[in-house]
Amino acid sequence: MTTKTLFIGMDGCTYTVLNEMTKDLPGEGVAMPFLASLMAKGVRAKLRSTPNPLTPPAWTSIMTGKGPGEHGVFDFIRAEDKGGEVYWTLYDSRDVDAEMIWSIASRAGKTIAALNFPLTAPPPKETNGAIVPGFIPAKHLRRNSHPAGLFERIKQAIPGFDPKELAWDFDKEKQAMESLSDADMENWVRYHLPREEQWFHIAEYILANDKPDLMAVMFDGTDKIQHQAWQFLDPSLMPAERSELYNRVRGVCREYFGNVDRYIKRLVELVGPDAQVFFASDHGFTATVEVLRINSYLEDLGYLKWAESDGSEQALRREASDFANLDWSKTVAYCRTPSSNGIYIRVAEKPGDPGIPKKDYNRVRDKLIEDLKKLRNDDGEPVIVDVLKREDWFQGAHMKDACDLTLVLRDNGFVSIRNVKPPVVKRPNPIGTHHPDGIFMAYGAGISAEGMVGKRKIVDVAPTLLHSLGLPTPSDFEGKVAETFFSGAWLSENPVKIGAPTVRGGEREKSEEMDDNEKKQIIEQLQMLGYME
């Protein structure tokens, strides 16, 4: 048995940085020489992310070939508005109402391995191969790895294996962020190097020993480093005179990318010359230069009212929480989380309930869009450059769960939901944020050598990987095979085929959940990356 398809995910990877890392720069050389050689012999395109280019919905679209309106994942958390209160919990695989490629390939008789992908815990039932999920606490890794016994195999086979490094080590990251200063930045970036090394060794072990038909691993340090160290990576932000600190931190960032290049080289060597190798990111990256306190602006417009504190312990907890602390009886429209970049309009289910009457929905929404587009920064520039209606962007079985309005900011930043004035302020320094255009690349037997081709959609990744495996595109996929990625000879021998529809997911069964402290730690980790406040 040999591996036909190798898929390497690189969270948040962008050509802005990748082009720098594969270029011979004066005084620095080439950080990723092997990847540079693959890019020179293969094909690549920009990859348009989900409407809100965020990790959970975007990676879920990569894994399902469907948009958030169909697969049902829109954010890190899911919430229910009960009128008098809003309840929340973290998304997991049981909330994904679409079949993932791991199950699709397994049902077709292929073997798979999926390492470090979010929303793969608990692992899908029909999995013919290995899954070690990402984005869960370390103590849950053993139980959520598939098949039973895989975790112990890995632990015994890999010297120095440390499950705490696979999951985010909350205590280390919190300590780093609490003390973070210019001088600490180098150590903070360096902290993420050994974690990526752990995931590489697991991928290397499974690939060498199990040789799955589809081998997939995701490296997420790209995203985490760029959030905090973007000013050291973006060539447009490079200072005229580079300080010792700048050179040190940039050096560690380049060391990280150099390590990833080494991992890629080893994995490509293991799959051999007959395999096809694909790379994709869930979104790109850019700089954000200002802060929009969206709920503060909505208060100015009269759409929401903050909850009044009575000084109680419960009230103080609510004020310090990561979600909007509002007077729900007097709130019509609000933003639930910074990462959602969206506004929910509350519609009364029956007379007397909080919210607007159903008959007034379109009128209120149109007025709200008009008000949002009026907002200007101190330089007179529009802060919100587009407002997306959910029926235009989230068609599908779960459209009703999407934000009524999704905001696109002029600098692609995430909003703030804090009760702070003024609504718009300039940041002291630019920081990293998500850009809707990520990367999609391929190399290997049967792959085109066309270089850069036309932009693809994020839902195109799944059908392209299935096609590489010799499998048809399910008829209910929203994405299409990226035919420009394959050579004419390959397509002649392997024409694109449409197959049976997928099996819907979303099976929320009774299972051990993360406790409140673990959920709190995940939220605080999201704070560190700027997704929460």
What proportion of the chain, given as a percentage, has pLDDT over 70? 87
User: Taking all residues of the chain, what is their mean pLDDT, rounded to a whole number?
Assistant: 89
| pLDDT for 508 | 44
| pLDDT surpasses 70 at 323 | no
Return phi, psi of residue 301, to 5°: -85, -10
Residue 117 above 90 pLDDT? yes
Q: How confident is the model at residue 162, as a pLDDT? A: 86
Q: What are phi and psi of 517, to 5 degrees?
A: -70, -40
The 10 Å Cβ neighbour count of residue 125 is: 11
CATH superfamily of 5-283+436-496: Alkaline Phosphatase, subunit A (3.40.720.10)
The predicted pLDDT at position 179 comes to 45
415 has a pLDDT exceeding 50: yes
Tens digit of each residue's pLDDT (9 = 90 or more) over 25-59? 999 999 999 999 999 999 999 999 999 999 999 99
Rounded Cα–Cα distance for residues 81 and 307 (Å):
16
More confident residue, 508 or 369: 369
Alpha-carbon distance of 164 to 525, in angstroms, equals 14
Residues 171-185 have pLDDT tens digits of 555 444 444 566 677
**94-119 average pLDDT score:** 96
Number of H helices, E strands in the chain: 20, 19
Span 206-223, pLDDT tens digits: 999 999 999 999 999 999
More confident residue, 188 or 37: 37
Backbone angles phi, psi at 343, to 5 degrees: -120, 130
> Which of 95-109, 482-496, 518-532 is predicted with the least confidence, judged by mean pLDDT?
518-532
Helices (H), 230-360: 244-271, 294-301, 313-319
Question: Can you tell me the distance from the alpha carbon of 171 to that of 456, in angstroms, rounded to the nearest whole number?
Answer: 39
User: Among candidates 135, 147, 172, 144, which has minimal Cα distance to 282?
Assistant: 135
For the cut 90, the answer to whether the pLDDT of residue 406 exceeds it is: yes
CA 472 centroid distance within chain: 26
Residue range 113-125: average pLDDT? 92
pLDDT at 509 > cutoff 50: no
**Structure confidence at residue 284 (pLDDT):** 98
CB of 284 within 8 A of CB of 315? no
Hey, which bits of 330-383 come out as E strands? 333-334, 342-345
Please count the other Cβ atoms lying within 10 Å of the Cβ belonging to residue 350: 7
In this model, does residue 313 exceed pLDDT 70? no
Q: Which two tokens stand for residue 42?
A: 């293969």
Report how far residue 445's alpha carbon sits from residue 467's, in angstroms, rounded to the nearest whole number.
13
Mean pLDDT confidence for 308-318: 67
For residue 495, what are the CA distances in angstroms to 465, 488, 502?
Answer: 14, 10, 20
Q: Which residues contact 279 (CB under 8 A, 6 or more apart)?
A: 7, 8, 9, 10, 13, 439, 440, 441, 442
Is residue 257 scored above 90 in pLDDT?
yes
Band of pLDDT at residue 515, cut at 50, 70 and 90: low
Q: Is the pLDDT of residue 126 over 70?
A: yes
pLDDT digits 0-9 by tens, 58-106: 999 999 999 999 999 999 887 776 655 666 777 889 899 999 999 999 9
Q: pLDDT value at position 180?
A: 57
* Better-predicted residue by pLDDT, 176 or 141: 141
Give me 310's structure tokens. 């009575």
Q: What is the pLDDT of residue 178?
A: 44
Q: Is the pLDDT of residue 486 over 60?
A: yes
What are the start and end residues of each CATH 3.40.720.10 domain in the chain?
Answer: 5-283+436-496
Residue 170: count of CB within 10 angstroms of its CB: 19
Q: Is the pLDDT of residue 377 over 80?
A: yes
Hey, is 434 helix, strand or coil? strand
Report H helices in 42-85.
55-64, 68-71
Identity of the residue numbered 439 = I
Residue 470 has pLDDT above 70, yes or no: yes
Q: How far is CA 232 from CA 17, 25, 88, 246, 437, in A?
A: 10, 15, 36, 7, 20
CB count, 10 Å around CB of 482? 24
193 pLDDT exceeds 80?
yes
Q: Which of 154, 156, 133 is nearest to 144 (CA)?
A: 133
What is the β-pairing status of strands 5-10 and 112-115? unpaired
**3-class SS at 8?**
strand
Question: Which tokens in the block code for residue 238?
Answer: 């490079």
Residue 401 has pLDDT above 80, yes or no: yes
